[in-house]
């Protein structure tokens, strides 16, 4: 006999698994479909995400937060301009234990997979199944999004993100560091716990620089990173492969709708995570936004009237309005910074570094921005 599912989630990445666990906790029967993306078992996964307090609280509620070795608390953030501008954030000033946590993606995915395995309301299936609601969590390259008629409006940044891992001669001191330079935006994110001396690297460089940088030997690439980071962490050596992907600002025109081929059954679809939106990684908010999508959708469905189906478009459109507003605000902020630091004219450089100094002394404004980034407010 065919099994009945309330919701089919296409895509079993971090957002897909999180959403599945949230829905299953509310006793909805979920089919989780792994996304058949390119797999290279021999490649080291170099991804790490900066997760804020809201994301940590969500994952802890699902018993999926990694241990301290794989979730390094950030006590301080340093943002350096391309001249003498600098902005600092620190946890004590904000009255929190940590500004964010740098989380190893493989460790987080393993914890979520364990939670899914022991959740009886979730079945991992080989292919999409019929359900009143299908949620697409396949990432930015989703094919299902187009199949359902959503247009993904993209604006390329002309930049490529290069990610890797480094061993550092000096301990990171639980400080996340970022430099805006002529080649692009470089971030060093602390790994390995409080005493760690390794960092995750995300270097957003102009497209024409990406291929030459990827072609450098590990030693040559480490030397370029040493120069771009002004030797802040001493001697650097690569301890992982390099990965690269193009950067874009993107959002789907619609985040939900009826399944046209199955109108009589009153079935619907919705988007979440990178399938719905992409922002520049300079603020480290991409996964935080995706997890907030999952939490908002689960909350809307859980709070529905008893007579409403999970496919009810009124519910799904309330989710769409809430999350579009939050993502738009973050997208504008990150896009504005990316565009501002893309300008290399002398007067613009002077003006933006002057602005960074003013922001550093702004008090209430700086505190407001910090709290928003930590998830204490709209995400």
Q: What angle do CA 315, 321, 325 make, to 5 degrees?
A: 155
Helix, strand, coil shares, percent, the chain, to 5:
40, 25, 35
In the CATH scheme, what is the homologous superfamily, with its name and number, of domain 7-373? FAD/NAD(P)-binding domain (3.50.50.60)
**Smallest Cα–Cα separation from 207: which of 152, 249, 156?**
156
Enter the pTM of the model.
0.87
Distance CA 41, CA 284 (A): 26
pLDDT in tens, 102-136: 999 999 999 999 999 999 999 999 999 999 999 99
Dihedral (CA of 192, 47, 293, 153) sign: positive
pLDDT in tens, 219-267: 999 999 999 999 999 999 999 999 999 999 899 999 999 986 554 458 9
Distance CA 243, CA 241 (A): 7
pLDDT in tens, 51-91: 999 999 999 999 999 998 899 999 998 888 766 667 777 88
pLDDT in tens, 190-212: 999 899 999 999 999 999 999 99
| Tokens matching residue 323 | 């999350």
At 173, give phi and psi (nearest 5°): 65, 25
Neighbour-count burial for 170-186, b at 16+ CB within 10 Å, e otherwise: ebbebbbbbbbbebbbb
């Amino acid at each position: 006999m065919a099994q009945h599912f309330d919701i089919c989630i296409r895509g079993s990445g971090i957002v897909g698994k999180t959403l599945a666990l949230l829905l299953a906790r509310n006793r909805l029967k979920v089919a989780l479909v792994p996304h058949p993306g390119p797999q290279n078992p021999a490649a080291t996964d170099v991804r790490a995400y900066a997760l804020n307090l809201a994301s940590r609280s969500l994952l802890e509620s699902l018993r999926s937060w990694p241990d301290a070795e794989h979730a390094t608390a950030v006590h301080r953030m340093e943002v350096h301009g391309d001249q003498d501008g600098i902005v600092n954030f620190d946890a004590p000033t904000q009255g929190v234990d940590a500004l964010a946590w740098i989380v190893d993606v493989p460790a987080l995915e393993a914890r979520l997979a364990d939670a899914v395995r022991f959740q009886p309301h979730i079945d991992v299936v080989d292919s999409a199944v019929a359900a009143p609601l299908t949620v697409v969590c396949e990432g930015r390259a989703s094919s299902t999004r187009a199949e359902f008629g959503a247009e993904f409006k993209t604006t390329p940044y002309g930049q490529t993100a290069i990610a890797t891992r480094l061993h550092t001669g000096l301990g990171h001191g639980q400080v996340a560091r970022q430099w805006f330079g002529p080649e692009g935006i470089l971030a060093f994110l602390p790994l390995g716990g409080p005493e760690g001396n390794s960092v995750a690297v995300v270097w957003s460089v102009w497209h024409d620089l990406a291929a030459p940088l990827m072609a450098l030997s590990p030693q040559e690439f480490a030397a370029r990173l040493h120069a771009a980071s002004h030797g802040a962490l001493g001697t650097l050596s690569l301890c992982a492969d390099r990965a690269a992907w193009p950067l874009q600002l993107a959002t789907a025109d619609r985040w939900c709708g009826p399944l046209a081929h199955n109108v009589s059954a009153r079935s619907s679809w919705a988007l979440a995570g990178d399938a719905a939106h992409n922002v520049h990684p300079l603020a480290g908010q991409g996964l935080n936004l995706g997890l907030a999508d999952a939490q908002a959708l689960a909350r809307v469905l859980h709070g529905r009237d008893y007579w409403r189906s999970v496919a009810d478009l009124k519910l799904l459109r309330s989710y769409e309005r809430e999350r579009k507003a939050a993502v738009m605000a973050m997208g504008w902020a990150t896009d504005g910074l990316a565009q501002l630091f893309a300008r290399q004219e002398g007067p613009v450089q002077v003006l933006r570094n002057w602005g960074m100094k003013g922001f550093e002394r702004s008090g209430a404004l700086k505190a407001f921005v910090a709290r928003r980034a930590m998830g204490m407010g709209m995400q």
